[in-house]
Amino acid sequence: MRVCVIGSGGREHALAVALRRTADVVVTPGNPGIPGSTPDASAQIDADLYVIGPEIPLVAGLADELRSAGKLVFGPGADGARLEGSKVWMKEVLRDAGVPTAASGAFTDVEPALAFLRTLPGPWVVKTDGLAAGKGVLVTGSFDHAAADVVAKLSGVAFGDAGRQVVIEEWLDGPELSLQCVCDGRRAVPLAPAQDFKRLSDGDAGPNTGGMGAYSPVPFAGPDLVAEVLERAVQPTLATLTARGVDYRGVLYAGIMLTSNGPKMLEYNVRFGDPEAQAVFPRSTGDLAALLAEAAAGRIESEPQFDDRAAVTVVLATGGYPLDPRTGDVIEGLEKADALPDVTVFRAGVDRDADGAWITAGGRVLDVTGTGADVATARATAYDAVAAISWPGMQYRTDIAEIGHSAS
């Protein structure tokens, strides 16, 4: 089978590595660090299966375009991708499906938004309706900060049109879980659970980012919890989508908060997580290409398979990320890290300079995944590899997958 992966980051690199075990893989546009990258557009590439990585092309309808050209596509059409493209719509679907989630209100005008904000005890949660690369969510203990954020978002100053409608939410507390499910339109099968770390700095301080690290498996997410999330949230969501005429073939990634009142859905993403994919796919042992092709064709027949080893992924970001990422710095030590056992360094935002040296070319640059018999071993392996790599201003968290830590 020949698979075309669409995207250019660490997630697509991890997908390509996992798919390549059983398929020929081409990645468009990819990046200079991902083998098999080509500048050819997906429509020009002849493949048996197209796997769309990022949310932006999904929301823009790339899956529909490819399907109407007769291609087999893993990824929802624009109708299903609205789950991620509009938090307001996602909340509607959750309500219809009876899925537990944070109480919320949707607003386009400042005064009613602030009035609703005042009714909440805090901390306060303000989200852009539209896509904001994981950065459109503010969680703050300061009412004034939340109020200013509402004004900045609704005016279009903060996130352009993506913020002209906001969702204001009840604050939820508890450890978070990422459950990525492969869907064939009717049925969802879960991949190994993961936990990701969205805040920039250690101890969950600093702004939300696209993700600073992840690990899998998650000690508190056993089969019973996974089954509960599937039964109470993911399957009812798929049924509601079907009732709305949406044939959802792709990833439903459930972002869940495990509150003292049970699991509550924070959000759905419509694609694999980045960096969750970099922690989950190195553990997959089955035929991923076959599974995704079956889902794309509307009938999952195989089961995803994972080995017992753990994986921990640490994201290396540039100075200034996420607000003002600096690029163009020479990366030292990459080959040394690549050569370490049980380490894979996924290339997210890299390029080569005129002398052939690796340079930084995006906010999140490298995703360093270590594997091992357990999370602690995988973690130590990942951080040993991180220690080999450097460039001016490199940022990373030192507490990814730390024992006793639960991301929030």
By three-state DSSP, how is residue 133 classified? coil
Residues facing 258 on adjacent strands: 263
User: Would you tell me the crossing angle of helices 87-97 and 78-85 to the nearest 10 degrees?
Assistant: 100
Q: Is 408 in the site for ligand AMP (CB under 6 A)?
A: yes
Q: Is 89 in the site for ligand AMP (CB under 6 A)?
A: no
Exposed / middle / buried, residue 127 (Cβ in 10 Å: 0-12, 13-18, 19+) = buried
Residue closer to ligand AMP (CB basis): 34 or 212? 212
Binding residues with ligand AMP: total (CB under 6 A):
16
The contact pattern for ligand AMP, residues 270-309, with x = CB under 6 A and - = no contact, is ----------------------------------------
Taking residue 323's Cβ as centre, other Cβ atoms within 10 Å add up to: 10
Segment lying near ligand AMP (by CB under 6 A), choices 43-51, 168-176, 216-224, 280-288: 168-176
Handedness of CA 294, 224, 252, 89 (dihedral sign): positive
Q: Is 137 in the site for ligand AMP (CB under 6 A)?
A: yes
Query: Taking CA 292 as the corner, what is the angle to CA 130 and CA 53, rounded to the nearest 5 degrees?
Result: 35
Token couple for 315: 């994201």
* Residue 255 beta carbon to ligand AMP: minimum distance, rounded to whole angstroms: 4
What residues between 98 and 117 interact with ligand AMP by CB under 6 A? 102
Segment lying near ligand AMP (by CB under 6 A), choices 78-86, 166-174, 290-298, 386-394: 166-174
Residue closer to ligand AMP (CB basis): 198 or 347? 198
| Whole-number Cα distances in Å, 384 to 13, 315, 333, 389, 405 | 21, 13, 12, 9, 20
198 contacts 160 by C-beta, under 8 angstroms = no
* Residue 362 beta carbon to ligand AMP: minimum distance, rounded to whole angstroms: 20
Residue closer to ligand AMP (CB basis): 103 or 243? 103
Residue closer to ligand AMP (CB basis): 167 or 385? 167
Q: Is 255 in the site for ligand AMP (CB under 6 A)?
A: yes
Q: Is 180 in the site for ligand AMP (CB under 6 A)?
A: no
According to CB under 6 A, which one of 154, 252, 266, 292 is a site residue for ligand AMP?
266
Q: Is 318 in the site for ligand AMP (CB under 6 A)?
A: no
Residue closer to ligand AMP (CB basis): 127 or 379? 127
Residues facing 346 on adjacent strands: 367
> What amino acid is encoded at 376 in this protein?
A
Q: For residue 16, give the nearest of 33, 36, 1, 31 by alpha carbon.
A: 36
Token couple for 210: 């696209």
DSSP state of 331: P
Q: Is 198 in the site for ligand AMP (CB under 6 A)?
A: yes
Handedness of CA 225, 202, 280, 169 (dihedral sign): positive
Q: Is 93 in the site for ligand AMP (CB under 6 A)?
A: no
Residue closer to ligand AMP (CB basis): 75 or 255? 255
Binding positions for ligand AMP, rule: CB under 6 A: 102, 125, 127, 137, 139, 169-172, 176, 198, 208, 255, 266-267, 408
